Amino acid sequence: MMDVLLLADLHGQLGKLEAFLDLQPDFVIIAGDLTQFGPCDMVKKMSSLIDVPCFAVPGNCDPCDICDALEHSDCVNLHGSSFSIGKVSLAGIGGSNPTPFGTPFELQEPEIERLIVQAISHMDRNVHNVLISHAPPLGVLDLAGEDHVGSTSVKNHMKEFDLVCCAHMHEQRGIEEVDGVKVVNPGPASEGYCAMIHFGDEPKEIGIELLRV
């Protein structure tokens, strides 16, 4: 069994990080919006507080140069990339599809598609295959009022994974399953929300707990 802490939407709030780490995860995933429009040097401070392996993608509220900050921190930058740890393979896509707010890290769908394909092409298939995407898949945990605002590219690649970890929509905290693929939004870590993901020894043996510290 591997126990993984999923955080998202920190928005620069690190005050609850110690309480999150008290859950004793084997490693940490951060699904974007590490900062609230910067500063990027917060990333180094954050990563120095995490004493287990940490994997992250940027969110739409992060400056575009946060990828460079991640590369120079103790976190692994998964934006357009992949990494395997034990029986889990991770692929990542950061930022979001366009929003009405013109936030710093927004991508057009063809670029999201290109980066997901790039990440998948280098990913080793494993017992558990996980996509870390700040933006949710279109139609899943993506409601803004009555409108679905998720990414079509993320939706189109869901079937290549066992689990999709997303964020972005603070009010859409939850777990759904679509065609055998689990999707989880842990809720905003800035408000103390997180998820613990329990990866078993067999394919599809994935348990998820939504928690608040």
Question: Cα separations (Å) of 208 from 58, 89, 112, 163, 177?
Answer: 23, 17, 26, 10, 12
Query: Mean pLDDT across the stretch 169-189?
Result: 97
C-alpha closest to that of 65 among 45, 42, 46, 83: 42
* Residue 119 token pair: 């990440």
Query: pLDDT-based confidence at 211, cuts 50/70/90?
Result: very high
pLDDT of residue 206: 98
- Give the whole-number percent of the chain exceeding pLDDT 90: 100
Q: What is the pLDDT of residues 145-160, one digit of tens each?
A: 999 999 999 999 999 9
pLDDT of residue 196: 98
Domain architecture of the chain: domains with CATH? 2-212 (3.60.21.10)
Q: What is the pLDDT of residues 108-142, one digit of tens each?
A: 999 999 999 999 999 999 999 999 999 999 999 99
Q: What is the pLDDT of residues 37-75, one digit of tens each?
A: 999 999 999 999 999 999 999 999 999 999 999 999 999
Q: How far is CA 205 from the centre of its chain?
A: 20
Query: Mean pLDDT across the stretch 80-100?
Result: 98
Nearest 5°: the CA angle 169, 174, 175 is: 125
User: What is the DSSP secondary-structure string of 81-123?
Assistant: -EEEETTEEEEEE-SBS--TT--SSB--HHHHHHHHHHHHHTP
CB 206 within 8 A of CB 128: yes
pLDDT of residue 172: 97
* Residue 81 token pair: 């990339």
Query: Mean pLDDT across the stretch 83-89?
Result: 97
